[in-house]
A and B are shown apart, each in its own frame.
Chain A
Amino acid sequence: MALVAVVLISIGVFFMFAGTIGFLRLPDFYTRMHSTGKSDTLGMVLAFTGLALYNLDHGLTLSSFLVSLKIMFIAIFWFVGSPTVTHTITRAAFKSKIAPWTKDGRHVIDWPPDKGGSK
């Protein structure tokens, strides 16, 4: 079980590393939220699952099971909360008329969006 835990934590750390590189290198707000929002969620959930499994490695008693259950509660909380927060922040940025990045500076859609906004 420790081997599975190590593999899960390694994959989680890899996803968080990719998300951090994306956060540092991508050009504007929306692409940065795109990078961190998804890969951080998956990375943290995998890492927490790995920690819960690693905690069970020294024998399945009631107390260690409870600690693993609490860790999995954190993982579920993160899994529900993080995409919602990403969605809300990005929506707020869209309503604040932050222009999305394009390579040559041209707007690929009508910008700022004026119809349908509840301002």
Chain B
Amino acid sequence: MIQRTANIIPRTIARILIPAIQVFGLYVIAHGHGSPGGGFQGGCILAASFILMTIAYGLEDTKRRFTENMNNILSSLGVFIYALTGWMCLLLGANFLDYSALSAILPADPVKARYLGMFIIEVGVGITVMAVMVSLFIDLVTGGKHGEGL
């Protein structure tokens, strides 16, 4: 059982900082193909916001907001987006992850389709990394028994 800290300072500051961290994580994911960053880094920042929430508010609150079912669905959904984009390229007659073939189904020329395909890949990677990082953190702090620990 997580001991609920009687300390108001970390909780208030966490309530202020968690939205800022999540917006920054989305920024890093969305700008991953044009500047430093990317899906993995942005997913890690998003996961860090949930880890901060767990440290400040306790594991039960986090598991109520980010349930285990949601975790499983999101971690599979990201891989699904990645694989679907790659296989769409195969189906359209190009190599795996050759995004320029996507111009047949996206409203864009091959160069813009490359850009959009890379963005879709980054979003998938970010979703999976966020879910798996939170899952790893919960596994580690509870010793594998979800619901006890920290």
Contact = CB atoms under 8 A, between A and B. Distances in A.
Chain A interface category by residue count: under 10
B58 to A, nearest CB: 14
Interface in A72-97: 77, 80-81, 84, 87-88, 91
Nearest to A76: B20
Nearest to B56: A88
Interface residues of B, number: 10
Contact of A87 (B3, B6, B9, B20): B9
A81 B6 contact: no
B147 to A, nearest CB: 21
**B interface, by DSSP: helix, strand, loop or mixed?**
helix
B13 A118 contact: no
Contact of A118 (B6, B10, B16): B6
A63 to B, nearest CB: 13
Given A80-B16, A80-B17, A87-B10, 16 more contacts: A77-B17, A77-B20, A80-B13, A81-B13, A81-B17, A84-B9, A84-B10, A84-B13, A87-B9, A88-B7, A88-B9, A88-B10, A91-B7, A118-B3, A118-B5, A118-B6
The 8 closest A-B pairs by CB, nearest first: A84-B13, A88-B10, A87-B9, A84-B10, A84-B9, A118-B6, A80-B13, A81-B17
Interface of B: 3, 5-7, 9-10, 13, 16-17, 20
